[in-house]
Amino acid sequence: MKLKGRTILVLCLLVFGGYAYWDYLRDKKSEEKNMEQARLMTLNFEHVDSFEIKKGEQKIVLKRSVDGWELSEPYKDLADNVVADDFVKNVFPERVIEVAREGGDIDWSMYGLDKPLAQITFKTSDGQENVFQISDKKNFEDNTFARRGNENRVLVVNSIWQSRANKTALDFRDRRFFRHKIASVDAIQLKNSKGSFQLKRVEGLWQWVGAPKDYKLDQNKVREALTAISEAKAADILRSDAKIPAGKSLFTMNLQLAEKSWKAEVTQAADLAIYAKVTEPSLQLKMEPGALDKFIKISPDDLKETPPAKPETKEGADQQQAGAGKKETK
């Protein structure tokens, strides 16, 4: 009798355990299904090698190669790799906040999707794509309406999609003052209001050409100046046929690279805006405020190595202490 009771108990535990396990699997499957439905991007992030933003007549197209991102429309130019990478990378973690409406009888105009603000397309190397139509309308929680592909669903997505839709070609363009690797620079020639001087790298150390033998440059200060050149960016890139506003010359800079030379002519307009005309490639730039201030009045003395302070002698210390004693006596 006791054995029979134990058997029934075991069977009951197995049955209830089976139900519990079945519920667990069902809930897990339902959760995975919900997560899959909430995914906004269906592509593989690593395979995305191009994207485009179409807004009215304007079309911006970026493509990635082994050398990085490039603009192919509305004109051809190098793109800012960080900006382009972030544009793609930041999309993938996003989810559908909710589905506002679905079915075959949707009034798209109610959600601003009959004439969307923009269409953003991501493409992979194997030909797959995700297309999103972005509305200029938002719901009461300030989220944006969107449509993915030809789905009969109105999606509610993060309002940042409207910011993405309003991007311009300039936002993605490489706006660096100096587009080459700064480590490839072997010589610097600068002419400003302080005069003209040339620095040259000899056996890994920077030297002032024509300086006295005991004149030493602080290598860290020179590297900081080089970093300032590589980090300087333009606020705008002017058309090649545009004229830089007349103004006074601030400085000219010539850099000698391993296989080529690079030159910049920097001026300041009447409204105090700073412009630069550079080569390799040939560009006309309106610089960001403060981007090139370091070079307007720089001289070799600003880069000179500061000699270490001389150690204080005992005699000098005694004299200083004696002088202090006399002051206290008075």
pLDDT of residue 213: 82
User: Which domains does the chain possess?
Assistant: 45-172 (no CATH), 182-303 (3.30.1490)
Cα 150 to Cα 113: distance, rounded to the nearest angstrom: 12
Cα 263 to Cα 266: distance, rounded to the nearest angstrom: 10
pLDDT of residue 31: 39
Cα 34 to Cα 26: distance, rounded to the nearest angstrom: 12
pLDDT of residue 214: 84
User: Helix or strand or coil: residue 36?
Assistant: helix
> Does the CA dihedral 263-268-272-275 come out positive or negative?
negative
Which has the closest alpha carbon to 199: 179, 180, 221? 221
pLDDT of residue 30: 39
Check residue 243 and report its DSSP letter: -
Cα 246 to its chain centre, rounded Å, is 32
Give average pLDDT by consecutive 10-residue segment, the chain, 330 residues: 60 60 45 57 92 95 95 96 96 94 94 97 94 96 96 96 96 97 95 96 93 90 96 96 94 94 97 96 97 96 83 58 52
pLDDT of residue 325: 53
pLDDT of residue 36: 47
pLDDT of residue 264: 98
